[in-house]
Structure formats: structure tokens, C-alpha cells
Chains A and B, each alone.
Chain A
Amino acid sequence: MNKIQFLTELSSSLKSLPLDERAEILEDFEEHFAVGAQEGKTEEEIAASLGHPQQISKELLGAQQPQIEEVTVTATTYEPKEVTGTTTIYEPKETQVVSAPPSEKQVTDPPAYHHTKTEATSTSSNLFRSVLVALALGFFNLVIVLGPFITVVSLVFAGWVTGTAFIFTPILILLNALLYPTTFELFELFLSLTLTGLGFFLLIGMYHVTRFVGIGIARYVQFNVNLIRGV
């Protein structure tokens, strides 16, 4: 893993944090990479000894007070069973956290049990949640997203075909002139040359549109995956 990969992964697993906070954290790690590079270490070496970004983000989120409240809240709303499940496991402390908004000390002193809690949450009910989300998403995609999706893809395809066709119109005109010399008109040739020019512009435009649409689709897929994974 190099620096960019490390920072990207860290950043994406810290999505729930406010932007400025995330930027600050990334700056810290960028500094770490910069100093390490000065000492002659490779990015890969530095990343390896830092450990896994996901582990680090877990620790960072564990230190975040509003984060914990959020986790508790989601746990309660999704699955009431869940909360009782965790309370029985971590009896004395857990009840405090769930019932009352935790004071600074309570939360930050034992960051450890927050981790164990999220892990416990992520195993049983999250699987159930994932399945539900996947089903709902599948339905939503089929009914609402599929139509526009096909439209957009067809439009992009049509754009490419039109652009290519425009470019080749002079060839068609010339071919026509060869086959039926009597019908040839100079006006048509010039018109077709104009179309060629337009075709080039259209293709350049289509290139950008395609990239844009491609990125959009990739993002949407990633969003679906994240939703299912519960990230």
C-alpha cells in the first residue's frame, strides 16, 4: 500500500466525521509520511508500520463522542433486541452508555469497549440489516433506477454513433457520386464536410460525457455497496 492508497482508505472509512476533522487527521498522517520519506523510508514501509487504515479509523471513531451516541442510537432504532444483547454482555457499563448521553470521561476512558460493542453489533444484526438493505436496494434499483439508467446509456451510445456517422458523411457522398455521377452536387459535399467537423466536436463532447456518466455509475455502485455493508 502506498501513501495515496493509505490516505484514501483512511479517508473513506472516516466519512462519518465532519470534513474539517477528517482533513486534520489526514494532515497528521501526511506529515508522518513526509517525515518518514525524509528519513529514507519508502511509502510502503511507512504504511506497513502504521498498520491497517481501518483499524486506525476505528480507534479514531472510538475517541469521538458524538460518534458513540450516534452508534447507540442507530443500534436502538434498528434492532431493539440488539441493545439488550449488548447490555447483557457488558452489563454494568453498557447500561450507562445506552440510557444517558455519556459524559466525556465515561466515553473516552474506556475506548476499548466501544470497539467491542461495534464489533458485536456488526456480526449478528448487521447481517440481517445487510440482507434487508440489499433486498430494498434491489427493488429500488429495478423499479426506479433501471429505466433512467437504460435511457442514459442509450443516449450515450446514440451520441457516439451519431458522431461517428457525421464524420464519415463525406465518404458516403463521394461514394454516392461515384455510383451515380449525375446526382452529385457540390453543395452536398460541403454540407457533409461541415457535418464531419460537427462529428469531431460531438465525439470530443461524448468522450467527456461518457467519463462523467462512468464515474457517476461507479459512485452509485459504490454507494450501494457501502449501504449494504453498513459502512
Chain B
Amino acid sequence: MNVQFKKGVLELCVLVLLNKKDHYGYELVQKISENFQISEGSVYPLLRRLTKEGYFTTYLKESIEGPSRKYYQLTEEGRAYLTKLHQEWEEFSKGVNQLIKEGAHNE
């Protein structure tokens, strides 16, 4: 359950980050793992899957130092999917918080 849960949340996080601006893989991994612990390698399968689904497009961009990087860009479908996921998350977390709050009151 825990792993599954994280996977779903990971998807939402990636979408949210890409909604702000385009990122390359490493950047996404860093930004997420700054906030909570993930096994970083699983971000890449996720990126591939969502790209295949047409939620992202990718392009290569040279960087000043080092090799060129693959940037991910949110498509319109991706944006719609984000809205849907975000809404689901809001409802979900509201529900859980509500339950926790009630539990705390009863004690």
C-alpha cells in the first residue's frame, strides 16, 4: 500500500513541477527528494510512461557545463490530467484529514 501510494503521489508531484516550468530528469528527482524520501530511480520509469501516454513531450537542450539534457514539457493533455489528479488528491487528503481530526477529538 505504501509503495503504491507513493507512486501515485509521485506522479502528481512530477506533473505539478512541470506545470511551473520545464525540467530535466535530475532536477525533478532532486526537487522531489528534497521534500520526501523516494527511491530516485523510479522517477524515470514514471517519466517514460507519462511521455508515452502523451502527457509530456521531450526535447534536448545543451547545458553550459556537461552534456545536453533531456527536458520534459507538459502537454495540454498532461495539464488536463494534472487538474484531474490534483482534484482527486484534494478530495482524498481532505477526507483523510477529516478522519484524523475526528479521531483526535474522540480521544
Chain A interfacial positions (CB closer than 8 Å to B) = 25, 27-32, 34-36, 38, 49-53, 55-56, 59-60, 62-63, 104, 108, 111-112
Q: Which one of B23-31, B86-94, B96-104 is at the A interface?
A: B23-31
A32 near B39: Cβ-Cβ < 8 Å: no
- List 23 A-B pairs, Cβ < 8 Å: A25-B44, A28-B47, A28-B48, A31-B26, A32-B26, A32-B44, A38-B66, A49-B39, A51-B39, A51-B42, A52-B41, A55-B39, A55-B41, A56-B41, A56-B42, A56-B44, A56-B45, A59-B42, A60-B45, A63-B48, A104-B53, A112-B3, A112-B4
Chain B interfacial positions (CB closer than 8 Å to A) = 3-4, 7, 24-26, 29, 33, 39-42, 44-49, 52-53, 65-67, 69-70
Q: A51-B42, A56-B45, A60-B45 are in contact. Are A32 and B25 (CB under 8 A)?
A: yes
B33 near A49: Cβ-Cβ < 8 Å: yes
B53 near A108: Cβ-Cβ < 8 Å: yes
A63 near B49: Cβ-Cβ < 8 Å: yes
Q: A35-B66, A36-B26, A38-B65 are in contact. Are A49 and B53 (CB under 8 A)?
A: no
B40 near A51: Cβ-Cβ < 8 Å: yes
